Amino acid sequence: MAINIKRVIHLALFEIEPDSDTAGTVLQSFRHLGVETVFETVTDAVENPSDLLDGARKFDGILLPLGRGVENLSADVEWFVPHARHKETLLPVEDDTPALFFKKDNQLLLNLRAYFVSSVAFVGGGPGDPGLCTVAGQEALRHCEVCLYDALVADSLLAEIPASAKAVYVGKRCGHHSCRQPDICRWLADYARQGLRVVRLKGGDPGIFGRLAEEVQTFDRYSLPYRVVPGVSSLLAATTGTGMFLTRRHISRGFTVLTPRHAQDGQDVDPVYGPYLKRPPRPVVFFMAMARIGELVENLKKRGRLATEPAAVVWGASTPSQEVVRGTLGDIEELVKNHDRELPGLFMVGETTVFSLNNKWSALLGERILLICQPFLRPQLEAEILAYGGQPVAPPPMLKLEGVEVRKPDFDTVLILDEKIAGDFSARWGEFDQESLYCGEDGKAMIQRLALERVSGRLK
């Protein structure tokens, strides 16, 4: 695919020869992305090579051995290993592996990096029984190259990790930490910058007392792509799994979940329950609430909730059709009034509703990609889509299911590897929009081409 050259970047070669394979690979890869590269060999005796980014010559980036570049790395400098993915498993990255260093505010190189790195998967492994790890979580493990895993993760679940992958234990138990949280965040970011497929495997659901927010915030701070695979919480195993159901008609209509410890000045201290018991500052979650959202809003206000308090409605959580509307208790009813009230929606009120996951650092930006292919090809191609930050969409069953209304899947782009399946799909759901259509025989090449086009398009 030919792409017009749009930009020129000026790179310094430090301890790397201009006619080396590495320099040639960078030159070719960037040219494919629509960027011309100009090299200049630097022989200056400098203690910190990243200082060259502030020099009079105004280099956009520096290509130098990884070990040399990360020494005394400035807080305003980012990096990645510019090695395009052509194999399922990359060779180990060593200290002498060439890496590209650049200033964080260089939006051009941030966009280029999206083509060379994979989205890190934060996976909830369930409460201990490997059968309670989701299919999506197991698929992420089967395609990873590095896995950082916590305590209480089932050994049989770790068996899903490829034999060629690297497993790193970073577990924490009460009072006993194998490593510090800042170190875990840094390792995750470093493995991602090396272009490796990384899984952060946590017990239960990572969003419930799993310090997931800190690790996700690290990736937002470094502008690195990631995705989250929710897990079955130990809360559910301990209640639903034992018969102590959290909700029972005429007995319990809801619940609050707290940790008996809280962080203060970086340390855990004894619990303080007073503020929680007097007026719990907890989020309130309502299931199947759309038909009565107006009544719910009024009742919450009467009980002291402020009209300015954040609120949100979620439809189709975790599906390709997921939709989130955020507002406040005062305007959320107006914001959702034109939505189909028959669809199940989850209504949430509380400060936590202002937060969201971020996919803007990836190549595909969460693009929904419908795969039309033979079933045996799907796992590998879905892993490739996820690695580039896309969202794979499976076609609905072609058979008409009695008593079940199957909806046409929502998607942005369709990749066709099997013409017969595509014909059956079109016969039932209608023809595809030609602008969103890609056809071919090599699924991985098609996905890489799509990622290349999306990154190149953002460089304009």
Residues tagged active-site: 150, 172
CA 372-375-381 angle, to 5 degrees, is 65
CA distances from 329 to 274, 284, 295, 300, 355 (A): 26, 12, 12, 9, 16
CA separation for the pair 327, 349 (Å, rounded): 10
Angle, helices 135-142/378-387, rounded to nearest 10 degrees: 80
**Which amino acid, one-letter code, is at 151?**
A
Tokens 């009565």, located at residue: 292
